[in-house]
Structure 1
Amino acid sequence: MSVSLTDMSSYARSVVEQLGLEPHPEGGWYVRDWQSPINDQSGRRPLSSLIYFLLAEGDASAWHKVDADEIWLWHGPAPVTIEMAGSGEAPDETAVRTVV
């Protein structure tokens, strides 16, 4: 569940409004800015895409499996904690927590 526009900071709200971000089903806010005109072998998914993704204070992205390479560009201003480990419903005890 994404933090509502009325509950986020004025800075986060301005980013959502300026970039036209929408609530993401896994939490946070996003917009797809670009996608490859070439699809994968199944023909259902672009080979690559670029999204803007925002987690406002109090927001969290749901634990999920990533089945493709991702490149993350962090634009601050607050730190973010990334957890990577396991393949179950939640991070396992060997989760690697990285604070950026």
Structure 2
Amino acid sequence: MQGERIDTNELIQRLKLEPHPEGGFFRETYRDNARVTRAGEGALRSASTAIYFLLCDGAHSAWHRIRSDEVWHFYAGDPLDVHVLEANDAGGALVTHRLGNALMHPHTSFQAVVKAGDWFAAECRDASGAALVGCTVAPGFEFSEFELAAPGTLEARYPQHRELITRLGPKT
């Protein structure tokens, strides 16, 4: 089932979105002035950050991980799958969160959480679709803590998920 059609070019212009290294488009919308330190570290960082994130035109969010929890919020468009390889599961558990308008699309939810250190990737359920989401990170996101999966690394570690990992790898 399709979501509401969104004019992606207009949205990119209106929200001043820019290409993201993992795929799609984004813009940071909030960076908390409150500063915190992560246990065992001395570096100060924002307590939280938030972005708009748009997937469209067949783009996907390539496998990556960050050192903070990330909450995904669905805003508009088509359902989106957020695939997560759980870091604390030795067996390589794969969990897929389906984001969407839960009032229109059965088996979707408005929010999903990716825990710190988990590898994750995202894609529109319909490759021709578009989805606008938000991502809130606490402690706040820093590109210095962003890691794209190196080609072949996740496939070797999680061979049972090879097809999905390869399909959602970084664009070369």
Secondary structure of the equivalent of 2:36? coil
User: Are residue 66 (structure 1) and residue 66 (structure 2) matched?
Assistant: yes
Q: Post-superposition, which runs of at least 4 consecutive aligned residues in structure 1 deviate over 3 A?
A: none
Partner of 2:76: 76
Which stretch of the first structure deviates more once superposed, 14-23 or 74-83? 74-83
Query: In the superposition, relative to structure 1, how do residues 17 and 54 fare at CA in structure 2: closer, same or farther (>3 Å)?
Result: same
Structure with larger RCO (C-alpha < 8 A, sep 6+)? 2
Residue identity matched to 2:95? V
Which residues in structure 2 correspond to 1:16-95 (within 5 Å)? 16-41=12-37, 42-43=43-44, 45-87=45-87, 94-95=93-94
Shift of 1:18: 0.2
Deviation at 1:71, TM superposition (A): 1.9
Change (3 A) 1:32 1:84: same
Provide, for residues 13-41 of structure 1, a one-character-per-residue CA deviation record: whole Å limited to 9, x for no partner.
11110000011111111111110112332
Number of equivalent positions: 87
Question: Displacement, 1:94?
Answer: 3.0
SS at 1:31 equivalent: strand
Instruction: Output the aligned Cα RMSD.
Output: 2.1
Q: Where in structure 2 are the equivalents of 1:4-19 lying within 5 Å?
A: 11-19=7-15
For 2:22, the aligned partner's letter is E
Report the residue type matching 1:47 in the other structure.
Answer: A
2:23–2:60: 8 Å Cα contact kept in structure 1? yes
Distance 1:98 1:72 in 2: 10
Shift of 1:86: 4.3
Structure 1 counterpart of 2:47, one-letter code: L
Q: Distance in 2 between matches of 1:98 and 1:10?
A: 22
| Structure 2: unaligned runs, 5 residues or longer | 38-42, 100-172
Q: Structure 2-normalised TM-score?
A: 0.45
Conserved 8 A contact 2:25-2:54: yes
Normalised TM-score (structure 1): 0.74
Aligned identity (percent) is 30
Unaligned runs of 5+ in 1: 1-8
Residue 39 of structure 1 aligns to which amino acid in structure 2? R
If each structure's strand is expressed as a fraction of its own residues, which one has the higher value? 2
Alignment pair present for 1:98 and 2:94:
no
When structure 1 is superposed on structure 2, of 47-56 and 34-43 the one drifting more is: 34-43
